[in-house]
Structure 1
Amino acid sequence: MLRQMTSALALGLALAGAGWAETVEVKMLNKGTDGAMVFEPAAIRVAPGDTVRFVATDKSHNAETIEGMLPEGAAEFVGDMNKDVEVTFDAPGFYGIRCKPHFAMGMVMVVAVGDEAAPPATFLEGRLPKKAKERLEAALAGL
């Protein structure tokens, strides 16, 4: 009897913990408050285990990680064109996200997971289009 009660309590706590996770929506837009071809908002901070729903508000967009711009050991993702995609972010750190067809136009955003105040010094290194780098810097400054 005690074993059944302990198992039931453990299951209840596990299910209750799952209820604490949040889902945050990010729109993929042709035009937003920061100009053309944007994610809105351009920067968000979530807790580990939270989900981000990238909403294909306008056509011809996708959401995917930028190579080299995610925490070590974190899984990359690639959303389909014109489709919403939900991603659960478990690994703490900073993630660079882009819309592949509009990357050169600066359609990027930052997802910060956890409490780290700043990304690693190497976060903005590598080949980034000028407009994308400018928007990533602005997004980081807004966190």
Structure 2
Amino acid sequence: MIMDRRTLLTRGTALLGAVCLRSRQAISALPLMIEMKGSPRGEAVWFVPVGLAVSPGTTIRFVNRDPGNSHTATAYHPDILDRPRRIPARATPWDSDLLLPGETFEVTLSVPGVYDLYCQPHEHAGMVARIVVGRPGQELGWQDPTAGPGDLPEVALAAFPPVHAILEQGSVMQGRGEAT
């Protein structure tokens, strides 16, 4: 079958559009990354970003980029070291266990609400992060369980970015008290 130039262009454009659509869908299905970092001498540690807004069903990949420390990505929840619950009531808590430099851990967040997490060995250094899943008023069942301080160290509480800043910016690179 011989195609004229118009048919070739029409079919080629349609094929290219389908490939681009599939590529965008594949890219949006990739996990979003939160890095664990530390200063060269280890006197400061942090998550990057420290605040992140995502849609329900998003997979988050934690990557330890700190060559000098092991870190965890641990949800605040009574089932894990009897910590106060700072994730939505219907959400499943997680703990990455210690991640050596270069190692990764993934979690998929499906329940709308605010998820606060911390690094077990570095919570007292303020190594915490906040993920906001969905948007208040737009998501059925949206919850913010972070009202009370529980038994969190002051430095950890000070490092959480405000929910409104996360929602406005999409991601927050530094917490309130962090100097990276």
Where does 1:25-104 land on structure 2 (aligned, <5 Å)?
25-31=33-39, 36-58=44-66, 59-67=69-77, 68-82=85-99, 83-104=103-124
TM-superposed CA distance for 1:23, in Å, is 1.6
Contact 2:87/2:144 (CA < 8 Å) preserved in 1? no
Letter in 1 for 2:37: L
Task: Give the Å deviation of 1:100.
Answer: 0.3
Partner of 2:126: 106
* Alignment partner of 1:128 out of 148, 152, 163: 152
Tell me which protein shows more strand as a share of its residues. 1
* Count of matched residue pairs: 124
- CA contact under 8 A between 2:36 and 2:62: conserved in structure 1? yes
| 1:10 equivalent in structure 2 | none
Amino acid at match of 1:51: T
- Give 5+ residue unaligned stretches, structure 2: 1-21, 78-84, 167-180
Give the secondary-structure state (helix, strand or coil) at the position aligned to 1:111: strand
**How far apart are 1:22 and its partner, in Å?**
4.5
1:106 deviates by 0.4
Q: Distance in 1 between matches of 2:49 and 2:151?
A: 24
Does the 8 Å contact 2:37/2:64 carry over to 1? yes
1:28·1:54 contact (CA, 8 Å) conserved in 2? yes
Largest Rg, 1 or 2: 2
1:23 aligns with 2:42: no
Checking the alignment, whether the CA contact within 8 Å between 2:47 and 2:129 is kept in structure 1 is: yes
- Report the secondary structure of 2:86's partner residue: coil
Counterpart residue identity of residue 70, structure 1: I
Using a 3 Å threshold, how does the CA distance of structure 1 residues 124 and 57 change in structure 2: closer, same or farther? farther
Return the letter of the residue paired with 1:86. Answer: E
Q: 1:15-50 CA deviation, whole Å, 9 max, x = no partner?
A: x8x855452100001139xx9210000000110111
Q: What SS does the corresponding residue of 1:74 show, helix, strand or coil?
A: coil
Unpaired segments ≥5 residues, structure 1: 1-15
Q: Secondary structure at the match of 1:134?
A: helix
Whether the 8 Å contact between 1:66 and 1:97 is mirrored in structure 2 is: yes
* Alpha-carbon contact 1:37-1:105 (below 8 Å) kept: yes
Q: By how many angstroms is 1:120 displaced?
A: 3.0
| Whole-angstrom distance in 2 between the partners of 1:121 and 1:54 | 22
